[in-house]
Structure 1
């Protein structure tokens, strides 16, 4: 089932078209990777799908139901979670940072403690619970960031290059742990990356964007092994950067 779908969507600003997507669907339970050069429209696509930005024209569907894009509600946004490259943690304990979303939703204290304990354990950061988040290493901070997003039990988690600032050993371990967590939770995932190694390790499907348009979309291995002409030219140009 398509959990999110775009029809004839365009995003325009300053007389420029930032996104032009005639038809795009995010399948429930999929882990979709999105690649493309800077300015390709990856982050704009993420914002539109996560209801953070309304398109200039077009229709957004949630589970087949058309949504009024100019009045995206808090209720709809709460169905999703977003984790960015910068963790942007509060100057407080790790426990508080992971719990903050549940506190804002006024969940019972006992339930909050149960969920925080679970997610700290899932990301192997239980020992950091009382530590100030501002003192964490990059890898630790990103684990807190991801736990803070997933504790909300989102229907879709949107990730915008969450591993790009990490050193290789830290990144490799976090990707392995995150892959296992995604397998257990079956959370639908939209994952923007500049690293095809990450894409190959984590994703089931792959979307390649160029100039604000989706140029190829399919199973990850098929797109990488059998790209169309435009995508092949892009991958060849960027092969060193993407470590193919």
Structure 2
């Protein structure tokens, strides 16, 4: 994919953690409004990729460009304010649900009244508006993850990064949330990169699959292409181990 048509474009991204190289990515791009799933087993490098793309861990090398402009060290804060990230664990503050969702808006300089309005809209979008006044520490796992997603969508990001957003949830909750998330991403036009070890979750949401193993990309393509024509034995085996339950 040409960098000229990309929302985010990466070249020669390398990341080391604990002195060990955990990611080597010659190139990666995502278009505006595109939804991409990064799949692979534990240790494949999925989380390191998302953290690197979000500039939350240092790069050992490589270049990141967003909306056609290189993200230099002094630009990282401005870049992070154009994107949002959702982690496996919701990481909510010990305050009300509404305050949690409004916090990202306040950090970005949004006035209190407008932040409240946008936060409430986002909570309704995720079907948890009725929880606005509840303590965030009194939510179920599914409710907490919906609030975490509402906080991310409230800032109107151009790109949202999600690291295993469903993995700690029970199956019915996971299925319902994946379906709702797919609808929200489609309607909002938000680009998304979702890291998951479960291709079934990924297929509900995305346009493109990227399969990783030990820090490198081993195959990418549409879900149909990757599932029907695995590039090697690893992809074929991983496909079978993540069959529908």
Shift of residue 50 of structure 1?
A: 1.6
> In structure 2, do the counterparts of structure 1 residues 186 and 124 end up closer, same or farther at CA, with 3 Å as the change threshold?
same
> In structure 2, do the counterparts of structure 1 residues 144 and 185 end up closer, same or farther at CA, with 3 Å as the change threshold?
same
The TM-score with structure 1 as length reference comes to: 0.92
2:122 maps to: 119
Shift of residue 63 of structure 1?
A: 2.3
Q: Residue 28 of structure 2 is aligned with which of 19, 24, 27?
A: 24
Shift of residue 242 of structure 1?
A: 4.7
Shift of residue 71 of structure 1?
A: 4.1
Q: Residue 15 of structure 2 is aligned with which of 11, 16, 27?
A: 11
Q: Give the conservation status (yes or no) of the 8 Å contact 1:52–1:77.
A: no
In the alignment, structure 2 segments of 5+ residues that lack a partner are none
How many angstroms apart in 2 are the aligned matches of 1:64 and 1:106?
25
1:172 lines up with 2:164 in the alignment:
no
How many angstroms apart in 1 are the aligned matches of 2:179 and 2:19?
43
Q: Residue 101 of structure 1 is aligned with which of 104, 108, 119?
A: 104
Q: Give the conservation status (yes or no) of the 8 Å contact 1:155–1:187.
A: yes
The TM-score with structure 2 as length reference comes to: 0.92
2:95 maps to: 92
Shift of residue 238 of structure 1?
A: 6.0
Shifted more, 156-165 versus 41-50: the winner is 41-50
Shift of residue 212 of structure 1?
A: 0.9
1:62 lines up with 2:66 in the alignment:
yes
Q: Give the conservation status (yes or no) of the 8 Å contact 2:40–2:238.
A: no
Shift of residue 237 of structure 1?
A: 5.0
Q: Give the conservation status (yes or no) of the 8 Å contact 1:81–1:157.
A: yes
How many angstroms apart in 2 are the aligned matches of 1:103 and 1:27?
28
> In structure 2, do the counterparts of structure 1 residues 53 and 242 end up closer, same or farther at CA, with 3 Å as the change threshold?
farther
> In structure 2, do the counterparts of structure 1 residues 242 and 18 end up closer, same or farther at CA, with 3 Å as the change threshold?
farther
Shifted more, 127-136 versus 110-119: the winner is 110-119
1:204 maps to: 207
Q: Give the conservation status (yes or no) of the 8 Å contact 2:23–2:48.
A: yes
How many angstroms apart in 2 are the aligned matches of 1:93 and 1:138?
16
**Alignment RMSD, CA only?**
1.7
> In structure 2, do the counterparts of structure 1 residues 226 and 238 end up closer, same or farther at CA, with 3 Å as the change threshold?
closer
> In structure 2, do the counterparts of structure 1 residues 40 and 75 end up closer, same or farther at CA, with 3 Å as the change threshold?
same
Shift of residue 243 of structure 1?
A: 3.8
1:146 maps to: 149
1:225 maps to: 228
How many angstroms apart in 1 are the aligned matches of 2:126 and 2:195?
21
| 1:124-139 alignment runs, 5 A limit | 124-139=127-142
